[in-house]
Amino acid sequence: MNLFVDTICQLTRDALHRLDSERVWATSEIQGLIEQPPDADMGDFALPCFSFSKKLQRSPKQIAEELQNLLVQEDPQEQAFDAQKRLPFSRIQAFGPYLNFFLHAEILARELLPSIFNNPFSKGLISLGRGKDRSEKNRQKVMIEFSQPNTHKGFHVGHLRNAALGDSLCRIHRFNGYEVVGANYFGDVGTHIAKCLWYYLNHCKDSPPEELRGEWLGELYTQSVHLLETLEGEEAQKAQAEISSLLRKMEEKDPELSKVWDETRQWSMDDFEEIYRWLDIRFDHYFYESDVDEEGRQMVLQGEMDGTFILSEGAIGIDLEEENLGFFMLLKSDGNTLYSTKDLALARRKFDQFSIDRSVYVVGAEQTLHFKQVFATLKRLGYAQAEHCYHLPYALVMLPSGKMSSRAGNVILFSEMRKKMREFILQGQLAEQSLEWGTTEVEETAHRIALAAIKYGMLSQDPNKPIVFSMEDWLVSEGDTGTYLVYAYVRIRSIGRQVALEVSDQIDFALLEHPNEKLLMRRMLDFERIVWKSGEQFKPSLLARYLYELCRDFSKAYGTCSVKHAESESLQAARLLLFHCVAEVLKTGLGLLGITPPERM
């Protein structure tokens, strides 16, 4: 709630009461109805009157008009701003079935700008129109599990979507007042590793490279799959037996195999650590499949003894027909664990060891059924926490040719993308700067621009729509891109360097009367509400879109409302504060997407 929405609610509640004294409308009810007109010419806030129609026995159009008359009548001075009463509207007018409110630009400026200037968002002190009170959820502790890469496989651009999404959700939830545990879950055991090691030990003639050894293992995995496909008859059976035996040894922590496993696994972990550092993504806790597989097996065996699970064709599983979820496999017939086996133990640990209220899994949409089955199984086992598990699905990153697959080897590796982007930025966008700036700043700036482009690209689209990846598109830096957003930020910072004034909130707020300036302020009023919604709906795309629109509004104002060339110094000071606030909102918002803008570019 903010002053403006607050006042609208109170005014209309009182006015409605006078139209019909029987029905008492709560301000919260009215608040839920308030929306924004499609066009700034039509006002800043709108109250649709459809829902009053039934009770009042009149058309919404008529109600809007009556409300307008009541509100304007009540205060004849109101059409002109009344400084005494501080009514924050310059106009209240019915447009068909809507009652529209025009904010008084000066009051908007006076309410908004000092609030942003004095209370950094990081402290969460300001409230500019949050849709919902957060105190209720204040202390909730939520675990967000994301990224979960497999060791012995290359990290490709598909993994980037998950990482960006999970990281952003952690940041947004923290901003919204939740206590967040960001968790990673490494796939460091399983068939794919057995296949990789089988090839590494028996067929690989090369020695590992100096760098990116984890990625190299991924290549071996792909080659292993290819080789296995060419084998036939006895050879194929022999290979299968060898792989199965490797897998068993791995799960039994066989000392000899463990040496190789440990070493190669570390190669991948080293790669990941470097990638996360570059991506500016941190985790609060790490889980490993190798750490929960035995516990999972015990849970399944126990469940089988209890009769919750059943033996079927040599394997163990659970019949979930009642929940309409079919049969769910929990342990292979050779006794080895499955993904599902480990997920049971993992879920239990999350609740037992972290006393979380909610457990979120950021995992691809193709596993929706799997998680329904996991949660249903946990419930059957008597874990009430299953109710608080939530699978957040997202659609895949596809190639124009189709699905990306490490198995098939048709992936765009992250390292490859990073390299191309760096070269592209250094040779194109930063070519001139490279001549003047130190190498460190050039590299760091290129890094930040690349990161903005990648993360914005991954986050700006609704999570459940697939992204078709083509390298060319991702090098574009015009229009609706991450580059556009950080460029806007840099231009604001540049203003500060061009003007001799210090930013201050001791300004004449009445001077900010240009429509483009008002547009910007109206936009900033929505910031916290949008962040709240992005978190609750698990959609950073809402925030991304908002920031893009904020930057568009800024670019518009930038062209029409120059600071440097303003007519007076007081106008300079006013605009400087305005743009400074835009930069603050933008920086905060980008931070929630995991993006740090450069100060110049």
Name which of 39 and 322 has its Cβ closer to RNA.
Answer: 39
Residues from 213 through 232 that contact RNA (CB under 7 A):
none
Q: Is 338 in the site for RNA (CB under 7 A)?
A: yes
Among 441, 443, 444, 480, the residue binding RNA under the rule CB under 7 A is 480
Angle at 191 between CA 188 and CA 197, to 5 degrees: 75
Whole-angstrom distance, CA of residue 191 vs CA of residue 430? 45
Half-sphere exposure of 396 (CA within 13 A, CB side): 12
Of 2-10, 66-74, 199-207, 461-469, the window that binds RNA (rule: CB under 7 A) is 461-469
Q: Is 250 in the site for RNA (CB under 7 A)?
A: no
Name which of 143 and 425 has its Cβ closer to RNA.
Answer: 425
**Measured on CA atoms in the order 308, 310, 315, 318, is the torsion positive or negative?**
negative
Q: Is 120 in the site for RNA (CB under 7 A)?
A: no
Tally of CB atoms within 10 A around 102:
19
Name which of 7 and 244 has its Cβ closer to RNA.
Answer: 244
Residues from 278 through 317 that contact RNA (CB under 7 A):
289, 312-315, 317
Beta carbon of residue 139, minimum distance to RNA (angstroms, whole number): 25
Q: Is 468 in the site for RNA (CB under 7 A)?
A: yes
Q: Locate tokens 């106009």: which residue?
A: 91
Cα Rg of the chain (Å, integer): 29
Name which of 90 and 340 has its Cβ closer to RNA.
Answer: 340
Residues from 347 through 386 that contact RNA (CB under 7 A):
365-370
Angle at 532 between CA 526 and CA 533, to 5 degrees: 85
Whole-angstrom distance, CA of residue 207 vs CA of residue 45? 67
CA distances from 599 to 444, 460, 488, 527 (A): 11, 23, 11, 22
Q: How many residues bind RNA (CB under 7 A)?
A: 92
Among 190, 218, 303, 594, the residue binding RNA under the rule CB under 7 A is 190
Contacts of residue 518, defined as CB under 8 A and 6 or more positions apart, other chains included, come to 40, 103, 105, 108, 512
DSSP structure string for 563-589:
STT-SSHHHHHHHHHHHHHHHHHHHHH
Residues from 395 through 454 that contact RNA (CB under 7 A):
395-396, 402-403, 425, 429-430, 449
Name which of 184 and 460 has its Cβ closer to RNA.
Answer: 460
Q: Is 586 in the site for RNA (CB under 7 A)?
A: no
Among 213, 332, 388, 422, the residue binding RNA under the rule CB under 7 A is 332
Whole-angstrom distance, CA of residue 5 vs CA of residue 89? 11
Name which of 337 and 588 has its Cβ closer to RNA.
Answer: 337
Beta carbon of residue 499, minimum distance to RNA (angstroms, whole number): 6
Q: Is 35 in the site for RNA (CB under 7 A)?
A: yes
Among 104, 192, 265, 350, the residue binding RNA under the rule CB under 7 A is 192
Q: Is 472 in the site for RNA (CB under 7 A)?
A: no
| Alpha carbon distance, N-terminus to C-terminus of the chain | 37
